[in-house]
Amino acid sequence: MTSFNLMHLQFILTGAMWTVILSVLATLGGGIGGAILALAGISRHRFIRNIAALYITLIQGVPLLVILFLTYFGLPALGFNIEPLAAATFGLSVYVSAFLGEIWRGSLEAVRKAQWEAGECLALTRMQVLLHIIMPQSIRLATPPTVGFIVQVVKNTSLVSAISFIELTRSGQIVNNSTFQPFLIYTIVACLYFAMCFPLSRFSRVLEKKFAISAR
Amino acid sequence: MSDVIVGLKDVWKSFGEVSVLRGVTFDVAKGQVVSIIGKSGSGKSTALRCINGLEAFQSGEIAVDGFNLADETLDLRALRKKVGIVFQSYNLFPHLTVLGNIELAPKLAKRLSPTETRELALKVLGEVGLLDKRDHYPEQLSGGQQQRVAIARSLAMEPTVMLFDEVTSALDPELKEEVLRVIERLAGSGMTMILVTHEMNFARRVSGKVIFMHQGVVHEQGTSEILSNPGTPELVQFVGSNL
């Protein structure tokens, strides 16, 4: 048993870096999926709306850990070989897309119907109305909850430690196995999570205030 | 009557079980100013909304400047380049400045160049007397000013027909006047206009034709004379209660 040293710290910081990378990838992947789901959710075709709603209901009703097990252990069992990073990114994206899709659909629908009507009466296409009139207004509504949810995503990446991906939590566990100084190590781990989440939370709060003022 | 530009013939429309239009027929000539009056629920706003395809109707015919509204393959966007509409609740785009509101459609729907768009926007903004507010956001304007911007926004599409759906109903009396003045000036310029309105004096002043709707049909129509000498008891009563 060795006591905590710089090498251990470096190992944990590398884990923290992977947590950041995973969070970014999950947000990007989930953002693309969420955008598609949000657009599908306001489609004029009931069938497309129903598919989006079904996906969101299913994913929101399953724990993230189970989604990760399904992608990491389940897909190889079906013959798809998948790296831990790819499995983690895919699983997280599937999860994030369901929530962002719902947040964004709600924000698009929160813009008054009369705005659609006004745009269409000016001979704009549905896509032009969406891009130039509806989306700019819904972004104001969507940004605070979106940033708030990304904070959750950063914390939830800790679950991928369960599929042998060495991110911040897992690297803490590994270091603890050799040093056995759990209080010290998990305090460091906690502080690092806090250092990532706190600026985001503050940012979300600032945005909320800013939009509350401009949306009087 | 000379060149009919908007014609409704036996138009029927119902929302579910409730019939709102029960055989509406009237014509609007080019350059004519027509006021549609009537109690709420008489179908006047619905008739107006049918004219630019905002509401579908079940039977009858509507022709607007060569477009057949009963045709399901009708290119609504082409129609709406010709027919402008202004709503009671202005419906300006809150995230855009006054100029941004006015320039959006000419830029996107008519694909005008930025210079042409700006020229057009300044011209219509001048017509509603709000050149000094060009960089303001809607929330910084009074209701009357917002409604004048909405009128300018419609005019920037250079429509051949303008529809006004109770455009002063949401405004305080002192703000109504400034909007009515703009509409009156527009009427003088030869624009074809159809107004759904509660402003009887205004209707009397500007309209070449007044249409009184009652229970989903055109109950009485004629020159603005009919407001002074109504021919039916229903119009007598309506005019009496709106003085």
Given CB atoms, is B149 within the 8 Å cutoff of chain A? no
Nearest-Cα residue of chain B relative to residue A121: B80
Residue A162 lies in a domain: yes
Given CB atoms, is B147 within the 8 Å cutoff of chain A? no
Q: Is the pLDDT of residue B26 over 90?
A: yes
What amino acid occupies position B132?
A: D
Given CB atoms, is B95 within the 8 Å cutoff of chain A? yes
Residue A3 lies in a domain: no
Task: Please enumerate in sequence order all residues whose Cβ is within 8 A of that of A85, keeping only pairs 6 or more positions apart, or say none.
Answer: A22, A165
How far is the C-alpha of A191 from the C-alpha of A189, rounded, in Å? Answer: 5
Q: Is the pLDDT of residue B125 over 80?
A: yes
Residue A82 lies in a domain: yes
CA distance A115 to chain B (A): 6
Q: Note which residues in 154-213 of chain A have CB less than 8 A from chain B.
A: none
pLDDT for res B2: 59
Structure-block tokens of residue B74: 């009708």
Domain with residue A163: its CATH number is: 1.10.3720.10
Task: Identify which of A41, A43, A214, A44 has the alpha carbon closest to the alpha carbon of residue A139.
Answer: A214
B173 vs A186, higher pLDDT:
A186
Q: Which residues in chain A have Cβ-Cβ distances shorter than 8 Å to B158?
A: none
Given CB atoms, is B136 within the 8 Å cutoff of chain A? no
Residue with tokens 């010290």: A184
Q: How many domains does chain A have?
A: 1
Percent of chain B scored above 90 by pLDDT?
Answer: 84
How far is the C-alpha of B186 from the C-alpha of A20, rounded, in Å? Answer: 61
Residue A16 lies in a domain: no
Q: Please answer whether residues B197 and B211 qualify as being in contact, where contact means their C-beta atoms are separated by less than 8 angstroms.
A: no
- Count CA atoms within 13 Å of residue B116 on its CB side: 10
pLDDT for res B24: 95
Q: Please answer whether residues B186 and B178 qualify as being in contact, where contact means their C-beta atoms are separated by less than 8 angstroms.
A: no
Nearest-Cα residue of chain A relative to residue B82: A123
- Count CA atoms within 13 Å of residue A125 on its CB side: 8
CA distance B130 to chain A (A): 20
Structure-block tokens of residue A28: 């990007």
pLDDT for res A8: 93
pLDDT for res A216: 44
Q: Which residues in chain A have Cβ-Cβ distances shorter than 8 Å to B78?
A: 123
Q: Where are the alpha helices (DSSP H) in chain B?
A: 44-51, 76-82, 98-108, 114-127, 143-155, 173-188, 200-206, 225-228, 233-241
Residues composing chain B? 243
How far is the C-alpha of A62 from the C-alpha of A56, rounded, in Å? Answer: 10
Q: Is the pLDDT of residue B143 over 70?
A: yes
B43: DSSP letter: S
How far is the C-alpha of B37 from the C-alpha of B232, rounded, in Å? Answer: 14
What amino acid occupies position B150?
A: A
pLDDT for res B194: 97
Interface confidence, given as ipTM, is 0.90
Residue A7 lies in a domain: no
Given CB atoms, is A132 within the 8 Å cutoff of chain B? yes
Q: Which of B87, B91, B101, B155 to mutate to test the interface with A (most CBs of A within 10 A)?
A: B91
**SS3 assignment, position B36:** strand
Partner-chain contact A125 B78, CB within 8 Å: no
The overall average pLDDT reported for chain B is 93
Nearest-Cα residue of chain B relative to residue A135: B95
Instruction: Print pLDDT tens along chain A (216 aa).
Output: 678 889 999 999 999 999 999 999 999 999 999 999 999 999 999 999 999 999 999 999 999 999 999 999 998 889 888 888 999 999 999 999 999 999 999 999 999 999 999 999 999 999 999 999 999 999 888 988 999 999 999 999 999 999 989 999 999 999 999 999 999 999 999 999 999 999 998 988 888 777 765 554
Given CB atoms, is B54 within the 8 Å cutoff of chain A? yes
| Among the partner residues A128, A137, A216, nearest to B108 by beta-carbon distance | A128
pLDDT for res B161: 96
Section B200-228 average pLDDT: 93
Q: Which of A121, A124, A128, A138 to mutate to test the interface with B (most CBs of B within 10 A)?
A: A121
pLDDT for res A212: 67
Domain that holds residue A42: 21-214
How far is the C-alpha of B207 from the C-alpha of B196, rounded, in Å? Answer: 11
pTM exceeds 0.95, yes or no: no
DSSP-derived pairing of the beta strands B209-214 and B33-37? parallel
Residue A13 lies in a domain: no
Partner-chain contact B84 A125, CB within 8 Å: no
Partner-chain contact B77 A117, CB within 8 Å: no
pLDDT for res A213: 59
User: Band of the pLDDT at B1, cuts 50, 70, 90?
Assistant: very low
Q: Cα–Cα distances in Å, from A28 out to A62, A146, B181?
A: 21, 12, 53
How far is the C-alpha of B37 from the C-alpha of B212, rounded, in Å? Answer: 5
Structure-block tokens of residue A113: 């119907």
User: Band of the pLDDT at B243, cuts 50, 70, 90?
Assistant: low
Structure-block tokens of residue B122: 């300044």
Given CB atoms, is A128 within the 8 Å cutoff of chain B? yes
Residue A10 lies in a domain: no
Given CB atoms, is A127 within the 8 Å cutoff of chain B? no
Section B5-16 average pLDDT: 94
Q: Cα–Cα distances in Å, from B74 out to A104, B30, B178?
A: 33, 22, 36
Residue A47 lies in a domain: yes
Partner-chain contact B80 A137, CB within 8 Å: no
